[in-house]
């Protein structure tokens, strides 16, 4: 990754963080908390329990309803929005500081993220989201010159795409995962249906062998791509990122945080459309992923679009308005948000360490309310760690490595006393 010519160019030094928007760090930290709240179900295996198994567990119905109505999809939406917004800010800053190298630096930055995500997905955890972000980041780059109107129109079409897409796949008999679940099943135990995929996941969670754990992750990682197709996650996330890209342009122009009317409209729209749709979405029991196409699945795709995205943007708008009066309270999220990559990877370490066989093996013990407690406690720990770390260092450890690989030279990390 090292390029001497780049390292020797003083104009290509990393951009100062002095212009950082604190509210964006806080929003990113808030999203990070919600993401772990959602992912802890995956780590613990709660998402893979069938309805019959949950019937005998106290609080299961309330917990599932809460997750579907408050958490599911909302926080990856916020994170994706911030990724698109951050793209606009970062590219603008690079162009202002090192115009000749702006595109090269940003593409290198994305390439490093892609490498990190592949290691995270294939070696450590198949629930990784970074790979999708890195790949779609390249799409954002090639759409960087699109007009604001083009971004918003394309985003709207991408949000709607899963509806006719699901229907078309259903009627044509196309496998929801494009056959990738079956590929994993065949690799794991030679089966030709989805059972091998779940068997591989079950063994990954329960094995106490580190070597076997790594082997299984490599085998079933491609199933994550199948999940993206199954849930139509790719057009959804890209649509969100494009809105974030548009918002980044508005932020640069000083037309976003100051636009209280727009923020209030986003909250109102989210409540009027999102809340009733959320009730319907919960009654449909979510997206019906890992299942064959059906009428209920088709309805869940529609309900998801009307429930998740309006409320997620309402969360963003409400957080932004509250920031004006309660900055001192909400800024607790800023430190973990400033080192979001490090904290996201650390959440994988905690999740695997607590629940998997290669860790403490507490898979599904005490669920579901213990999952709430664990998610809150882990995030509080991350807040403390982040605040302490940033007192002595300028960046999180993963962010520091990411920056050095991007700029191709050794960079300082300690704060000057």
Distance, in Å, from the CA atom of 23 to the CA atom of 334, rounded to the nearest integer, reads: 7
DSSP E strands in 59-184: the ranges are none
- 415 in a structural domain: no
In the prediction, which pLDDT does 202 show?
87
Mean pLDDT of the chain: 89
In the prediction, which pLDDT does 366 show?
66
- 224 in a structural domain: yes
pLDDT digits (tens, 9 = 90+) for 29-42: 999 999 999 999 99
Identify the burial level of 100 via C-beta atoms within 10 angstroms of its C-beta, where 0-12 means exposed, 13-18 middle and 19 or more buried: exposed
Cα Rg of the chain, angstroms: 21
- 126 in a structural domain: yes
Which of 219, 190, 191 lies closest to 203, judged by CA? 219
Assign 393 to helix, strand or coil: strand
Whether the predicted pLDDT of 6 surpasses 50: no
Whether the predicted pLDDT of 10 surpasses 80: no
Residue with tokens 């078309």: 168
- 389 in a structural domain: yes
b/e sequence 25-50, b meaning 16+ C-beta within 10 Å: bbbbbbbbbbbbbbbbbbbbbbbebe
Q: Containing domain of residue 273, as a range?
A: 4-407
Distance, in Å, from the CA atom of 229 to the CA atom of 177, rounded to the nearest integer, reads: 5
Longest dimension (CA), the chain: 66
Q: Identify the weakest region by mean pLDDT among 8-17, 260-269, 296-305.
A: 8-17
Token pair belonging to 256: 């976003």
pLDDT digits (tens, 9 = 90+) for 82-114: 999 999 888 887 777 766 788 888 999 999 999
Distance, in Å, from the CA atom of 57 to the CA atom of 153, rounded to the nearest integer, reads: 45
Tell me what percent of the residues of the chain surpass a pLDDT of 70: 94
Half-sphere exposure of 293 (CA within 13 A, CB side): 21
Opening angle at CA 227, ends 174 and 280, nearest 5: 90
In the prediction, which pLDDT does 17 show?
39
Residues near 279 by Cβ (< 8 Å), separated by ≥ 6? 69
pLDDT digits (tens, 9 = 90+) for 205-256: 999 999 999 999 999 999 999 999 999 999 999 999 999 999 999 998 888 8
In the prediction, which pLDDT does 273 show?
96
- 162 in a structural domain: yes
- 197 in a structural domain: yes
Q: Which residue has the higher pLDDT, 16 or 399?
A: 399
- 175 in a structural domain: yes
Distance, in Å, from the CA atom of 250 to the CA atom of 148, rounded to the nearest integer, reads: 9
pLDDT digits (tens, 9 = 90+) for 57-71: 888 889 999 999 999
Expressed in angstroms, the distance from the first to the final Cα of the chain is 31
Q: Is the peptide bond before 368 cis (omega within 30 degrees of 0)?
A: yes
Beta bridge partners of 414: 393
Query: How many domains does the chain fold into?
Result: 1
Residues near 390 by Cβ (< 8 Å), separated by ≥ 6? 335, 338, 339, 396
- 414 in a structural domain: no
């Amino acid at each position: 990754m090292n390029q001497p010519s780049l390292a020797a160019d003083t104009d290509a030094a990393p951009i100062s963080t002095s212009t950082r928007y604190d509210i964006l760090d806080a929003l990113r930290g808030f999203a990070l908390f919600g993401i772990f709240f959602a992912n802890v179900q995956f780590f613990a295996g709660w998402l893979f329990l069938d309805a019959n198994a949950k019937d005998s567990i106290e609080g299961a119905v309330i917990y599932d309803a809460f997750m579907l109505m408050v958490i599911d999809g909302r926080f990856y939406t916020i994170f994706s929005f911030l990724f698109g917004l951050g793209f606009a800010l970062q590219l603008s800053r690079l162009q202002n500081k090192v115009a000749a190298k702006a595109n090269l630096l940003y593409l290198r930055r994305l390439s490093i993220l892609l490498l990190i995500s592949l290691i995270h997905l294939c070696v450590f955890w198949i629930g990784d989201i970074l790979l999708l972000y890195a790949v779609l980041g390249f799409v954002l780059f090639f759409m960087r010159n699109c007009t604001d109107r083009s971004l918003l129109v394309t985003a709207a079409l991408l949000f709607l795409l899963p509806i006719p897409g699901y229907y078309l796949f259903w009627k044509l008999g196309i496998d929801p995962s494009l056959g990738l679940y079956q590929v994993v099943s065949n690799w794991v135990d030679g089966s030709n249906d989805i059972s091998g995929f779940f068997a591989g996941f079950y063994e990954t969670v329960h094995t106490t062998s580190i070597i076997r754990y790594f082997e299984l992750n490599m085998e079933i990682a491609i199933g994550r791509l199948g999940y993206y197709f199954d849930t139509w996650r790719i057009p959804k996330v890209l649509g969100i990122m494009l809105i974030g890209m548009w918002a980044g342009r508005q932020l640069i122009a000083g037309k976003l945080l100051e636009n209280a009317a727009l923020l209030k409209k986003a909250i109102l729209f989210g409540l009027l459309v999102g809340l009733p749709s959320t009730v319907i979405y919960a009654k449909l029991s979510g997206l019906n992923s890992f299942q064959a196409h059906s009428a209920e699945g088709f309805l869940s795709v529609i309900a998801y679009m009307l429930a998740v995205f309006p409320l997620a943007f309402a969360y963003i708008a409400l957080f932004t308005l509250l920031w004006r009066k309660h900055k001192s309270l909400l800024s607790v999220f800023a430190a973990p948000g400033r080192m979001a990559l490090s904290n996201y990877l650390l959440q994988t370490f905690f999740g695997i360490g607590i629940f998997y066989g290669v860790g403490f093996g507490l898979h599904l013990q005490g669920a579901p309310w213990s999952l709430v407690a664990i998610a809150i406690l882990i995030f509080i720990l991350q807040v403390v760690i982040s605040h302490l770390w940033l007192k002595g260092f300028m960046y999180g450890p993963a962010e520091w490595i990411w920056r050095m690989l991007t700029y191709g030279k050794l960079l300082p990390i300690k704060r000057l006393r």
